Structure 1
Amino acid sequence: MRTVELLPDPVTEARVRRVWQELAAAGLPSLAGHRHPTNRPHLTLATADGPPRAAWRELPAVLAVLPLPLRLEGAIRFSGRTRVLAWRVVPDAELAALHRRVGELLHGHGTGSGGPPPAPGFWSPHITLGRTRSDRARWPDGLLPAELSEPWEGAFTAARSYDTATRTVEPLGAPDSASPEPSPGPPGPPDDPHANRWGIP
């Protein structure tokens, strides 16, 4: 499976990583403990089951709209076999349109898993902060970093694809010169196993 992910600007990325560290320091589940070198703050737009060559050739043109505004506002939690704490991304019209266009592109080439893109209002864009499969682990509101209660504005400046089989990444569209991707490391847990085709846990 391969993903289509948006990457935040360096200042926003540093802020997210700081929240990861603060969660870990408080003894809470955090992606700070995920040591694979591809682990990086991102928003998953979509995933595809196979090597969608035709769709992948068209993606750079679709992603040429970057950079796009990014607004983080409040913590959200997702339940399931893997429980997730995330920073909610507020989708403006441009981000929603890009999400829809990427979904339609992959679905139109028959490369997506599952059904068509969700209707407006059913997409929950987010940047993951922590995840756990422990029933006992929690993220009490009183222990969450103060940054999560403060709206933050930045930008999505680049895109990448993550291959779950090879555990490698490649840039999509213009290169992300501000924060180059590291080399792949040893096998470990999937980069974002809770994300499905449309970025909804």
Structure 2
Amino acid sequence: MHTVELLPSAALDSRVRELWALLLQAGLPSLATHAHATNRPHLTLVTAASLADLPHLPLPIVASLTSVRMLGRALVWAVDPSPSLSALHETAWSSVGGWPPPDEFVPHISLALRVPLADQPAALDLLSATPPMSGSFDAARTYDTETRTTRNL
């Protein structure tokens, strides 16, 4: 499988890493502990078997990060599904298929994965005062789940 990931501007990337560090310092699950070389803040636009038909993605795209919340067992910083972001997702999904379809697209940047139920209230409380932040997604890459490598798009 291959992902299409949007990469945030330097300011957004830095702020996400600060939140990762806050979680780690509090002894809570955090992507700060994910040691793989490809680990970095990103928004997964779509996952598909092949990206052969993926068109050029018009970037940068303005983004607003809103609230920190749980998405299943993942702690995420929600990204406003603006018309331009939704249109970009629709374009990518229409060309390569995969997941998620437009009616299931929930844009976000992950802060921690597989957060135990017992830790979820503390993680949410720690980051509950995180103010919204505006910025942009300036670049895109793909991650190959078989080779565990990335390539710029």
1:133 to 1:17, Cα distance in 2 relative to 1, 3 A:
closer
Q: Aligned partners of 2:67, 2:115: CA distance in 1, in Å?
A: 22
Pairs within 5 Å for 1:106-125: 106-107=96-97, 112=98, 117-119=101-103, 122-125=104-107
In the alignment, is the contact (CA less than 8 A) between 1:5 and 1:45 conserved in 2? yes
**Counterpart residue number, 1:45:** 45
- Which residue, 62, 66, 73 being the options, matches 1:73? 66
2:139 counterpart SS class: strand
**Counterpart residue number, 1:129:** 111
2:120 counterpart SS class: coil
Q: Aligned partners of 2:127, 2:26: CA distance in 1, in Å?
A: 8
Does residue 1:169 correspond to 2:144, yes or no? no
In the alignment, is the contact (CA less than 8 A) between 2:77 and 2:108 conserved in 1? yes
1:4 counterpart SS class: strand
Deviation string 1:52-96 (CA, Å, 9 cap, x unpaired) is: 43x14xx3x2x0x200101111112122xxx10000000211111
RMSD after superposition: 1.7
* Structure of larger gyration radius: 1
Compute the TM-score of the two structures, normalised by the length of structure 2: 0.91
In the alignment, is the contact (CA less than 8 A) between 2:76 and 2:109 conserved in 1? yes
Identity %: 45
Q: Aligned partners of 2:117, 2:77: CA distance in 1, in Å?
A: 21
Pairs within 5 Å for 1:47-196: 47-49=47-49, 51-53=50-52, 55-56=53-54, 59=55, 61=56, 63=57, 65-79=58-72, 83-107=73-97, 112=98, 117-119=101-103, 122-132=104-114, 134-140=116-122, 141-144=124-127, 146=129, 148=130, 150-172=131-153
Greater percentage in strand: 2
In the alignment, is the contact (CA less than 8 A) between 1:85 and 1:139 conserved in 2? no
Unaligned runs of 5+ residues in structure 2 are none
Q: Aligned partners of 1:42, 1:133: CA distance in 2, in Å?
A: 19
Unaligned runs of 5+ residues in structure 1 are 173-201
Matched to 1:161, the amino acid is T
Q: Aligned partners of 2:96, 2:3: CA distance in 1, in Å?
A: 11
In the alignment, is the contact (CA less than 8 A) between 2:2 and 2:51 conserved in 1? no
Matched to 1:118, the amino acid is P
**Counterpart residue number, 1:2:** 2
Compute the TM-score of the two structures, normalised by the length of structure 1: 0.70
In the alignment, is the contact (CA less than 8 A) between 1:73 and 1:89 conserved in 2? yes
Shift of 1:10: 0.7
1:136 counterpart SS class: helix
Shift of 1:142: 2.7
Matched to 2:12, the amino acid is T
